[in-house]
Amino acid sequence: MCIVGARPNFMKIAPIMAALRSEQCHLDAFLLHTGQHYDKSMKHCFFDQLGIPVPDMDLEVGSGSHAVQTAEIMQRFEPVLDEVKPAMVLVVGDVNSTIACALVATKKGIPVVHVEAGLRSYDRDMPEEVNRVLTDQISDMHFLTEKSAHENLLREGIDDSRIHFVGNVMIDTLKNNLSKAVTPEQILSEIPNKAVFLNSKTGYGVLTLHRPSNVDNPEVLARLLETLNEISKTLPLVFPIHPRTAQKIMESGCEKYLDTDRIIQLAPLAYHEMLGLNSKARLVLTDSGGIQEETTALGVPCITLRENTERPITVDEGTNTIVGTDPVKIRAAFDNVMQTGGKAGKVPELWDGKAAVRIVEVMEKWLTDNQRH
């Protein structure tokens, strides 16, 4: 049984479902959506574009505080396990749906598989960090995107035999979809001053923001948006806005920083649109985890508006620079990219589009071996 819940899960589950339902695989796959994300722009378009099968079940939990959302998923998930009786539960990433379903499954004695295990920001203020640490502790099989995660897991007492370095399923999806990416010209076709953004000499930057640490505190949000407004005077910015960010901008009266025709505000974009926009950008400014990896795979410079990253390979080998929220540091990193073109970077080991196939092979072997004993 594969679990999805929130936007960043969808691009991870797509290649896994495809590998599970391919002719080479002998396992049955059941797809369960918790319903953590439910808006059309946060959900449906990803299923359509990425060819994810319609979920066999949707728990429709929706939004809530962390406790309410996690508890609601757990309560609704338990009877499903009793009914479907899966041999394994596979969770991806670090969202509330990940820990909620892993916890219910493990207490029922059902083996848990964690894809994207072992990543650590060492920042427990991030809800995702708590989800990652706890999910790894109760998982039976850990699939890694980068080798640094191996040391993290060993340090936390996870047995080496459970750890498998297989590569990055999000990059499987990126590679499978590059040829379907929508061009910036098409994405911005309705924008009156699109010529400013489509000028091949100056180019454009992409901005995404949604982490609670950046958008929930009005002072931090204002400081960030003021800096980004300054930056847009040099490089125009395209800003697809996550629903929680849109709400926080309104509540904190920060709209004034976006009141410029050098920042285009868009609703959240579907996968092919975002991929097309990012792949042609001069740089990307973001607090997303996934985008740090996607920009590294694309070779596009990324400036991360966080104090840390759980994906250090994007900094050590990729195009990522961590700058935090200090205006002086953001500006310096931005100027550096504009002057030098940014870090060249290389694509990390096993980010080759075949991670999901490796995962399914290991799972199939594990199930065969364990059934035999």
**Residues in touch with ligand UD1 (CB under 6 A):** 6-8, 36-39, 42, 63, 69, 94-96, 127-128, 210, 242-244, 247
By the 10 Å C-beta count (0-12 exposed, 13-18 middle, 19+ buried), 145 is classed as: buried
Smallest separation (angstroms) from ligand UD1 to the CB of 254: 17
What three-state secondary structure class fits 173?
Answer: helix
| 210 classed as catalytic | yes
| The pair of three-digit structure tokens given for residue 121, joined into one six-digit string | 């920001």
91 versus 355: smaller Cβ distance to ligand UD1: 91
186 versus 247: smaller Cβ distance to ligand UD1: 247
Smallest separation (angstroms) from ligand UD1 to the CB of 337: 24
Smallest separation (angstroms) from ligand UD1 to the CB of 91: 12
Do residues 308 and 236 touch, judged by C-beta distance below 8 A? no
6 versus 305: smaller Cβ distance to ligand UD1: 6
Closest CA to 156 of 111, 105, 114: 114
Smallest separation (angstroms) from ligand UD1 to the CB of 210: 6
| The pair of three-digit structure tokens given for residue 161, joined into one six-digit string | 């035999």
99 versus 166: smaller Cβ distance to ligand UD1: 99
Residue with tokens 């002086």: 328
196 versus 220: smaller Cβ distance to ligand UD1: 220
6 versus 188: smaller Cβ distance to ligand UD1: 6
Do residues 50 and 356 touch, judged by C-beta distance below 8 A? no
**Which residues lie across from 90 on neighbouring strands?**
2, 113
What's the CA gap between 211 and 150, in Å, rounded?
A: 26
What's the CA gap between 97 and 109, in Å, rounded?
A: 18
3-state secondary structure 52-93: CCCCCEECCCCCCCHHHHHHHHHHHHHHHHHHHCCCCEEEEC
How many beta carbons lie within 10 A of that of residue 156, not counting itself? Answer: 12
| The pair of three-digit structure tokens given for residue 17, joined into one six-digit string | 């479902």
59 versus 337: smaller Cβ distance to ligand UD1: 59
Do residues 125 and 306 touch, judged by C-beta distance below 8 A? no
Q: What CA–CA distances, in Å, run from 240 to 192, 249, 256, 285, 355?
A: 17, 13, 17, 12, 29
**Which residues lie across from 206 on neighbouring strands?**
238, 284
Smallest separation (angstroms) from ligand UD1 to the CB of 10: 10
How many beta carbons lie within 10 A of that of residue 55, not counting itself? Answer: 19
Widest CA span in the chain: 66
Smallest separation (angstroms) from ligand UD1 to the CB of 170: 12
Set 210, 242, 272, 373: catalytic member: 210
Residue with tokens 């499978």: 176
Known catalytic residues are 210
